[in-house]
C-alpha cells in the first residue's frame, strides 16, 4: 500500500510521529491517499488541498492502515480497538487526541 508524506520507515512512522506505537496511516477522505499524519498531508498532498474529515456514514470504509502488517481497518473497527486485530501491534493511544482532525463525528467515550 502506498503511503505518502515524510515516511521514515516501512511501518508508516513519519518525521512528525515516530515512536514505537506510531504505526498507522490514515486514508484521507479528501484525496483517498494514505498519509502517516495530518502534518504529512498538509505538507505533501498534491495538489495542496484542505483536509476533509470522514463522517459517521463512512464508518464501514477501510481507511486505517496498520504499518506492521498492512491490514486495512474499517473506521469503526479502528475506533474500537487499541491494537491491530490481525498482528496485535499496539496503536498510539495519543492518536485519540487528534480525532477531530480526521473524523466529523464525536469520539465515543472510553469504557473502562
Quick check: is 8 in a domain?
A: no
Quick check: is 86 in a domain?
A: yes
Whole-angstrom CA distances from 2 to 40, 46, 109 are 14, 15, 32
Cβ atoms of 13 and 7 within 8 Å: the answer is yes
pLDDT of residue 111: 44
pLDDT of residue 108: 75
Quick check: is 2 in a domain?
A: no
Residuewise pLDDT in 10s, the chain (112 residues): 899 999 999 999 999 999 999 999 999 999 999 999 999 999 999 999 999 999 999 999 999 999 999 999 999 999 999 999 999 999 999 998 999 999 999 987 554 4
According to DSSP H, which parts of 2-110 are helical? 38-44, 75-80, 99-102
Quick check: is 88 in a domain?
A: yes
Quick check: is 5 in a domain?
A: no
Whole-angstrom CA distances from 6 to 31, 75, 76, 86, 103 are 17, 23, 27, 26, 22
For residue 66, the enclosing domain spans 24-102
pLDDT of residue 112: 43
Quick check: is 12 in a domain?
A: no
How many domains is the chain built from? 1
Q: Tell me the pTM.
A: 0.93
Report which of 81, 82, 84, 51 is spatially closest to residue 68, judged by C-alpha positions: 84
pLDDT of residue 1: 86
Amino acid at each position: 500500500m502506498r503511503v505518502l508524506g515524510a515516511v521514515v520507515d516501512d511501518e508508516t512512522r513519519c518525521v512528525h510521529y515516530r515512536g514505537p506505537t506510531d504505526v498507522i496511516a490514515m486514508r484521507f477522505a479528501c484525496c483517498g491517499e494514505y498519509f502517516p499524519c495530518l502534518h504529512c498531508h498538509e505538507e505533501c498532498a498534491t495538489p495542496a488541498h484542505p483536509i476533509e474529515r470522514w463522517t459517521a456514514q463512512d464508518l464501514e470504509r477501510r481507511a486505517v492502515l496498520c504499518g506492521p502488517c498492512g491490514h486495512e481497518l474499517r473506521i469503526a473497527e479502528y475506533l474500537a480497538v487499541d491494537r491491530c486485530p490481525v498482528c496485535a501491534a499496539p496503536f498510539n493511544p495519543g492518536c485519540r487526541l487528534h480525532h477531530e482532525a480526521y473524523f466529523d463525528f464525536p469520539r465515543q467515550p472510553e469504557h473502562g
